[in-house]
Amino acid sequence: MAKSTASTKSASPTYANDAIKQSRLRRLIPASLTRRWSRWISKRLPPQKQITLSHKGIFILPSGFGLVWIGLIVLLYLFGTNYQNNLVIGLSLLLASVFHTCIIYSYKNLAGLTFNAVTPPQGYAGDNMPFPIMLTGHTRQHNPDTTHQQICLQFSYQRHVRVKQMHEQTIATVPFEHPTRGKLNPGRIKVSSYFPLGLCRAWSYVDLDIHHVIFAKPEMCDIELSSHISDNDNPNEHGKLRPGVDDYKGLRSYIPGESLKQVAWKQWAQDKGMLSKEFAEPEGLPVWLTLANTSGNDIEHRLSKLAWQVDKLSQSQQIFGLILDDHIINQQTGEAHRVACHTAIATYHAPTNMNPDFSPSNVATSSVGESS
């Protein structure tokens, strides 16, 4: 099974101008009409975890070049009939057959293409968020040129990524620019293609029901820990791990002379070498990160400071807890605890971010990426 990954390359000024023109044209469409269109698309193509394109969801219309082609066909046919020139009439019919063939191949280029969402990486507010999409198509070993080609993927009002040549499975990374903190639903993905000759534009809408949490953007600050300790104690010395016998921490290389009771015999039986089990216990009293004790200009500024402190304490393997008003995360350490704290901070009084498919205020006028 062949796999390939589509990577974003430098943008083309032509695609950037096309994106700007499309955004200007969409502003001329009445809001009531766009809402009705969005509701109709949502009903006809509902969100699903896996979607395969078929005749139900593929739309085909002539492109700008295709309209000029049709005008040329009509003009040649009128000249041929007016001057009774069979050669000109035959040329017009030949051009018409080419246009008809392009309609069929435009449909075949998208039909049967299957989309699956891949788990996206962790992202922070304000950064470009990549959403990997798995594309599965049909390939022919004896004639690979008949596979799906020149397919563009994009979220509404975002830069698009182009897959030039598909294999049996291809991962395309669709960008989403500058998301805000909280739960993100990027919305539908527009799949389009001008293959083979650019005479027709075939497109569809794919909603993979993607929901992802965007973490608050960390901002460097002083660590502000609170605990029930005396004024003479340093809160940064509490909650750290020190060697002990309470909690299992991990494995390390065996040092000759150590007690054989600490040896990880299971790993040794798996031919992983001599490893020793390492235990640790928290030092001092439990410490907390609290929103109430975090200073800042506004709530977003304070949450950004909390996000930075979570990352910093997790890097030092310090045990800590998080208090956001009534929401409390108990003291713990590790990657799972860090993600849980970031998720709580990201979703604190934050509504679900929906990417409106028809919202002129979110138009991305930046240039459009191209992928292979």
Predicted confidence at residue 8, as pLDDT, reads: 39
Q: In terms of pLDDT, which residue wins out, 91 or 268?
A: 91
- Residue 301 carries which DSSP code? H
* pLDDT the model gives residue 11: 39
Look at residue 282 and tell me whether its pLDDT is greater than 80.
no
pLDDT of residue 42: 82
What tens digit of pLDDT does each residue of 301-318 get?
999 999 998 988 888 888
Are 298 and 343 within 8 A, CB to CB? no
Report pLDDT for 60: 93
Q: How many CB atoms lie within 10 A of CB 316?
A: 13
Higher pLDDT, 363 or 196: 196
Is pTM beyond 0.85 here?
no
- Mean pLDDT rounded to a whole number for the chain: 77
Give residue 252's pLDDT: 64
Q: How confident is the model at residue 364 (pLDDT cuts 50, 70, 90)?
A: very low
- CA-atom Rg of the chain in angstroms: 29
Please report which residue ranges of 183-252 form alpha helices under DSSP H.
none
Distance CA 129, CA 214 (A): 9
* pLDDT value for 359: 43
Q: 336: buried, middle or exposed (CB in 10 Å: 19+, 13-18, 0-12)?
A: exposed
Helix (H, G, I), strand (E, B) or coil at 345: helix
**β-sheet with 327-332: strand ranges across:** 288-290, 320-324, 327-332
Report the pLDDT averaged over residues 211-228: 82
> Measured between alpha carbons, how far is 292 from 58 in angstroms, rounded to an integer?
53
Burial 200-220 (b: 16+ CB within 10 A, else e): bbbbbbbbbebebbbbbbbbe
Q: Residue 203 in contact with residue 59, Cβ under 8 Å?
A: yes
Which of 7-16, 128-137, 167-176 has the lowest average pLDDT? 7-16
Report the percent of the chain where pLDDT is more than 90. Answer: 20
Higher pLDDT, 360 or 320: 320
Residue 77 — pLDDT band, cuts 50, 70, 90?
A: very high
Q: DSSP label at 360?
A: G
